[in-house]
A and B are shown apart, each in its own frame.
Chain A
Amino acid sequence: MKGRPDKRLRGFGLPPLPDGLGEASLLAAREALSAAPPSDVWTRLVCSRTARLAWAACVALLFFLHLALPGRAGQERPASPGSPPLDPEVGAVATLPRIDERALVPYSGAPS
């Protein structure tokens, strides 16, 4: 029963690679890669280091401007301290009828 296995397996060695198998495999891989769907714009934006830096800078700048802006938003302004409104009696004298400019037709007739 004892025997030398290498002698018994002699003749069962790996067969040589077929010619051109390597080139064919690489070609197929290249074709498969080119046939795959491209990454969309959203993915590219998310993955873009430049875009992420620009966004971060933008947000930082806006935060800074918010902090730098003095005053409280929505603050009401005081009324103008000008002259008080005209008394109705004065208004009756000082209020002039508005004239429709389209009605200002030059008078061309002789004095009557």
Chain B
Amino acid sequence: MSRARTVVLLALAAVVLLAAGLAVRLALRPIPGADRPAPKPLARLTEPPSAGNVPGPARAGALRVPCWGCSPEADAWPVRFRTDLDLLAPLGDGPGNAALWLKDFTPEVGARAAEAKEAMSRRVDGPGEWGRILPPSDPLLGEAEPWTTQATMRFYPEVFPIDGGATRLPNLLLCITLGRSWGARAAASPNAPSAFEDGRRAVRLGRLLRQDDESIVQDLVGLACIRMGAEALYEVAVHRGDHDLALAAAIVLGEHAPQRLRTAQQVTSISIQPRDGSRVTSGGKVEKIVSTARAGTDRRFRQEAIFQLALVRVFAGSSGVRAAETALDDLSRDPDPLVAAAARWSRTIDPAFLGEQPYAGDLAKKPAVDRIFGRLALRFPMLRGLLPGS
């Protein structure tokens, strides 16, 4: 090798090394906004609840069984009960917001989070297949009862702000435990004077949890509480020979599984990570996500689609990114403030930050070299497809 060639190659190598080092430092640099302060603890609610009046259940007329699988218009149905739940458990008219009480039990930030943890340790095995429940005379059950007579439970945005993938959830384990404990208490003592009311409390708790219509997880927990209450009401009604109530409870129970399946169908259709773990941002997927975000039947599916649009910004090619950002710009001005807040988060979140969150995939688990390539692809969308593993 000639001396001139050696000199030129060494000079080029120096430039390449400096440029590569700069690219790696750019990819690994701290992300503005990622180092957020720890959340502040929420102030404890000190006011006792004003117990609301709860009307008796409406009398069932000619009941119809909704066919979620065969009705031609079922695809356009909101994923809600078609049967009037007032047949089982009308909501009370209490003026308080039950979320203000439940928020005190939120893990990490709730003023009574430790009490909630302690209550979970008091749980015992329930009868039959009810699972872990609070003892029938547990004081927390008594404290929760008047809150189920309120007309409202709204966590968003009064209690928790919309914060995209980091939006806080209430203590859903406590909610499930309350619903399960009331349901089990009713089913275990069908002759007890409070048996019907216990089943109705569980149904009302579920209805209240579904009012927000903000997150799919909270909605599914609300749905589960309604199922548990309906199961208890069915057993008590059969035991006491109340066939109208038993029939209404059975029809409500029959709507539980279709709603879960429809939810699964909706989530699958707007998820860019289908069941095999791969990422899909082509084949009309982005268009489907955009259409759901703009006009989904339920707000929680719109919110999920808006979150998926943030992932599209991270992983899709340039045309998908453009479609996602155009939709998010429009949705940032949506009349629904929760939708608008979610869209603003998805539009402005740093893709490099989002790309490394657990819900965005397994990038963080990759070997160091792949992580650097992955981060470079997140930082510089024009490099996507050129870098290995991106």
Contact = CB atoms under 8 A, between A and B. Distances in A.
A31 interface: no
B108 to A, nearest CB: 6
A70 B269 CA distance: 42
Nearest to B131: A89
A82 B268 contact: no
Contact of B36 (A74, A81, A84, A89): A81
Contacts of B70: 107, 110-111
A43 B2 contact: yes
B36 A42 contact: no
Nearest to B283: A101
A90 B352 CA distance: 29
Nearest to B269: A101
Contact of B176 (A45, A78, A80, A89): A89
Given A59-B18, A98-B274, A101-B268, A93 B220 contact: yes
A55 to B, nearest CB: 5
B226 to A, nearest CB: 12
Contacts of B163: 82
Interface stretch (B184-192, B194-202, B240-248, B259-267): B259-267
Interface residues of B, number: 59
A105 interface: no
A61 to B, nearest CB: 9
Given A45-B4, A82-B166, A75 B19 contact: no
Interface string A80-107: 1111101101100110111111001001
Contacts, number: 127
Contacts of A96: 220, 260, 263-264, 267
A1 interface: no
A42 B1 CA distance: 10
B271 to A, nearest CB: 8
Contacts of A93: 176, 220-221, 224
A66 B169 CA distance: 42
Interface in B142-172: 163, 165-169, 172
Interface string B207-226: 00000000011001100100
A55 B8 CA distance: 10
A70 B26 CA distance: 10
Contact of B264 (A63, A81, A98): A98
Interface residues of A, number: 41
Contacts of A17: none
B31 interface: yes
A86 B221 CA distance: 12
Nearest to A61: B18
Contact of B173 (A59, A73, A87, A110): A87
A58 interface: yes
Given A42-B2, A62-B18, A74-B28, A90 B275 contact: no
B124 interface: no
A77 interface: yes
A58 B67 contact: no
A34 B108 CA distance: 85
A86 B216 CA distance: 13
A63 to B, nearest CB: 7
A83 B168 contact: yes
B63 interface: no
Contacts of B4: 40, 42-43, 45-46
Given A46-B4, A83-B169, A78 B34 contact: yes
B153 to A, nearest CB: 17
Nearest to A104: B265
B50 interface: no
Interface of B: 2, 4-5, 7-8, 11, 14-15, 18-19, 21-22, 24-26, 28-31, 34-39, 67, 69-70, 107-108, 131-132, 163, 165-169, 172-173, 176, 216-217, 220-221, 224, 260, 263-265, 267-269, 271, 274-275, 353, 356-357
13 contacts: A42-B2, A59-B15, A69-B22, A70-B29, A73-B29, A75-B30, A80-B34, A82-B357, A89-B173, A93-B176, A93-B221, A100-B275, A101-B274
